[in-house]
């Protein structure tokens, strides 16, 4: 078995606030995990009840200093989403490298039952990623592509030849209207 080369890991300075002192720092749960788990720093005696359709800002008790040129993305945990309908509302949430406030996670309950957020609950994943800062340059026209102006749901659709003076549009098979989903 060949040993894996060591990856250069960015160093992140972390301050634990008093309400997170007894909680472990976020950590990766497997060798190749992309995200480390963020924990709820709520009061042990008072779990937060997240009602169906409700949302709440959950404290982690952490302040981080990310290296310049990186960001941290807050993403949902798939197990919470599958089992309870709990997800991160502004997913992915972005933490900029110059932010120095407490990291909080905006959870929403899309499930049919109340969900108790308890102290130390793994509530989200934190992904650290490089940031590419772009410069916008205004031009009169852009290069044409096969996709053209096709937006939501247009990739893989059959293209219709362009009419004179108009851009090419895509043709799609008629779709049925979605019925509203009701929780049972």
The dihedrals phi and psi of 170, each to the nearest 5 degrees, come to -105, 155
Q: What is the pLDDT of residue 160?
A: 54
Report residue 179 CA to chain centroid gap.
27
- Continuous segment of H or E residues that includes residue 177: none
pLDDT tens digit string along 98-153? 999 999 999 999 999 999 999 999 999 999 999 999 999 999 999 999 888 888 88
When pLDDT is cut at 50, 70 and 90, the band that residue 174 belongs to is very low
Helix (H, G, I), strand (E, B) or coil at 102: coil
Calpha distance 78→60 (Å, rounded): 19
pLDDT at 3: 55
Task: Report phi then psi at 113, rounded to 5.
Answer: -130, 155
All structural domains of the chain with their residue ranges: 13-130
pLDDT of residue 163: 54
Output the CA–CA distances (angstroms, integers) from residue 141 to 94, 137, 138, 144, in the order listed. 32, 11, 9, 9
Q: Which two tokens stand for residue 92?
A: 């992915």
What is the rounded average pLDDT of the residues 178-182? 49
Give the three-state DSSP class for 18: helix
CA-nearest of 46, 111, 58 to 82 is 111
Averaged pLDDT score across all residues of the chain = 87
Assign domain 13-130 to a CATH class: mainly beta
Query: What is this structure's pTM?
Result: 0.76
Model confidence over 53-109: pLDDT tens digits?
A: 999 999 999 999 999 999 999 999 999 999 999 999 999 999 999 999 999 999 999
The half-sphere exposure of 2 on its side-chain side, counting CA atoms within 13 A, is: 3
């Amino acid at each position: 078995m060949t040993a894996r080369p060591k990856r250069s890991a960015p160093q992140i300075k972390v301050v634990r606030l008093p309400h997170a002192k007894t909680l472990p720092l976020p950590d990766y749960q497997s060798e190749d995990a992309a995200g480390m788990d963020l924990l709820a720093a709520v009061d042990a005696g008072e779990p937060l009840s997240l009602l169906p359709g409700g949302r709440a800002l959950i404290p982690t008790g952490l302040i981080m200093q990310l290296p310049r040129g990186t960001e941290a993305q807050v993403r949902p945990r798939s197990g919470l989403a599958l089992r309870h309908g709990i997800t991160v509302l502004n997913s992915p949430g972005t933490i900029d490298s110059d932010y120095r406030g407490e990291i909080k996670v905006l959870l929403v309950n899309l499930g049919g039952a109340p969900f108790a957020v308890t102290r130390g609950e793994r509530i989200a994943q934190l992904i650290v990623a490089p940031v590419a800062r772009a410069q916008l340059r205004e031009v009169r026209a852009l290069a044409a592509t096969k996709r053209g102006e096709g937006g939501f749901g247009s990739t893989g659709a059959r293209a219709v030849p362009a009419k004179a003076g108009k851009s090419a549009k895509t043709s799609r098979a008629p779709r049925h209207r979605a019925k509203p989903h009701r929780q049972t």
